[in-house]
Chains A and B, each alone.
Chain A
Amino acid sequence: MNDFEFHSPSSLEEAFELLDRYGDDARVMAGGTGVVLQMKQRLSQPGHVVGLRKVPGLNSIGLTGNGSAGGIEVGAMVTHRTLENDPTVVQILPMVAATYHHVATPRIRSMATVGGGLVHGDPNEDPPPTLIALGALVVLTSSSGRREMPVEELFVDYYETDVQPGEILTSVTIPQQPPGSGSAYLKFLPRTADDYATVSVAAIVTRGNGNTCSDVKIVLGAVGMTPVHATQAESLLRGQTLTPENIAACASAVKEVVDPLDDFRGSAEYKRDMAEVFTRRAIEQAIQQTLENRPAA
């Protein structure tokens, strides 16, 4: 690891001052599971590391809005384990709790934070597909103000996000699933249980009248430079009857938009095939959940 200076600001204002002072030479660190690894591998060699552990106000999970229109606001320093075990999250956003539960091991989930995980910009991570499918927003704060951005727009390229020098991702707002919807997050793990996905898929299906699909969201992980929102595939199912043929056509269409890398988790060709298979399964599970969630007549 290169030599650097470590800063422990005790407020966001102090953190912004440090980031403004050191600019590109500063790196923000939350849980450290990403930043320390990159520094050990000399992929990142900042002169200044700004740790957020002592900054108050970034550790809470709160409700936003009212009833089914509401959701949760998660502070950037909330750990994966805290989020997955939070009773409110388990109750109103079970897809989020289940997705965070899939990340790595309990030890890493005790360290890694919600904000840090997103800023890491790794397209193989589990949470982004689910957060994008749900329409989650991030709040980016700096000395000159704050801006909100859909999680979908946060990811620019491989390990590259739209977070600008001087900005800190301070919270994530996650809306509830639409009424009448079902969801699934599937992670294909042919190697070990704590691995990154070979392919992952988040799907949310909203059922309209009868057996029609009034809306659908499909977002894939680990099959491109960023998470892949398969909007073209969605359009093949939205407004259609939920028949096996229509579901198959929708799932097949994701092969056109994924762009996986050849690596030790599989060849690009294999991952492209698995993207179709796991998309179909995710849609089927989401539909099954809409039936289970349907109020008794």
Chain B
Amino acid sequence: MNQQIRLTVNGTEHRSEVPARRLLVDFLRYDLGLTGTKEGCSVGVCGACTVLIDGEMAASCITLAAAVDGAQITTIEGIAQDGKLHPVQQAFIDHGGFQCGICTPGQVMAAKALLDENPNPTEDEIKAWMMGNLCRCTGYYGILNSVAAAAGSTPGSNA
């Protein structure tokens, strides 16, 4: 059954009619064409689909679009400002935080959520926060260094 929903995605309001079973990740990718958000495991475990809903990080693959009617959604497409990458995005480039890239939008959104809440996390806090974002390429140290660098702390070795 179709539902009317109103979502503000990256600052732009969208009024749409979607099936009640439309998942937020599918609404973003197929209805809005925002394909930066990826779907990995489809069960809320891998973190590839991470977006912010009213500022809180969420798994868009287990979120019904209709269930977050009225919310503010932030995706990877919405965090660069005035043509300048978000500091977390830039840090992932500078510190080798990705290889194949499929997990990267989720990693970046999770790291942004962390730094929004805790601008100076310790290494342990970064690890505890980012444990819900899986990567099968980099071995995680590039990611850890990227997040630490974005937070302004000294990253470890990239070797």
- A contacts, CB < 8 Å to B: 1-6, 8, 29, 32-33, 36-37, 39-40, 49, 51, 53-54, 79, 81, 104-108, 110-111, 193-194
Contacts and interface: CB of A to CB of B under 8 A. Distances in A.
B102 interface: no
Given A40-B42, A110-B56, A193 B131 contact: yes
A206 B34 CA distance: 56
B20 A5 contact: yes
B88 interface: no
Contact of B50 (A3, A33, A107): A107
Contacts of A54: 70
Contact of B63 (A36, A49, A79, A194): A36
A4 B131 contact: no
B7 interface: no
Contacts of A106: 57, 110, 128-129, 131-132
Contact of A107 (B3, B20, B59): B59
B1 interface: yes
A105 B19 contact: no
A104 B62 CA distance: 15
B79 interface: no
A193 B129 CA distance: 11
B40 interface: no
B21 A1 contact: yes
Given A2-B21, A108-B44, A110-B56, A33 B64 contact: no
B137 interface: no
B69 interface: yes
Contacts of B59: 33, 107-108, 111
A36 B20 CA distance: 12
B115 interface: no
Contacts, number: 87
A5 B66 CA distance: 10
29 contacts: A3-B21, A4-B1, A4-B20, A5-B3, A5-B20, A6-B3, A6-B20, A6-B64, A6-B67, A29-B67, A32-B63, A32-B64, A33-B59, A33-B62, A36-B63, A36-B64, A39-B21, A49-B64, A49-B67, A51-B64, A105-B45, A105-B47, A106-B110, A106-B128, A106-B132, A107-B132, A110-B56, A111-B44, A111-B62
Contacts of B67: 6, 8, 29, 32, 49, 51, 53
B46 to A, nearest CB: 10
Contacts of B42: 40
Given A33-B44, A36-B63, A111-B63, A3 B69 contact: no
A3 to B, nearest CB: 6
Given A3-B19, A107-B57, A194-B132, 20 more contacts: A2-B21, A3-B21, A6-B3, A29-B64, A33-B59, A36-B62, A37-B62, A39-B21, A51-B66, A51-B67, A81-B56, A105-B131, A106-B57, A106-B128, A106-B131, A107-B59, A108-B132, A110-B57, A111-B59, A111-B62
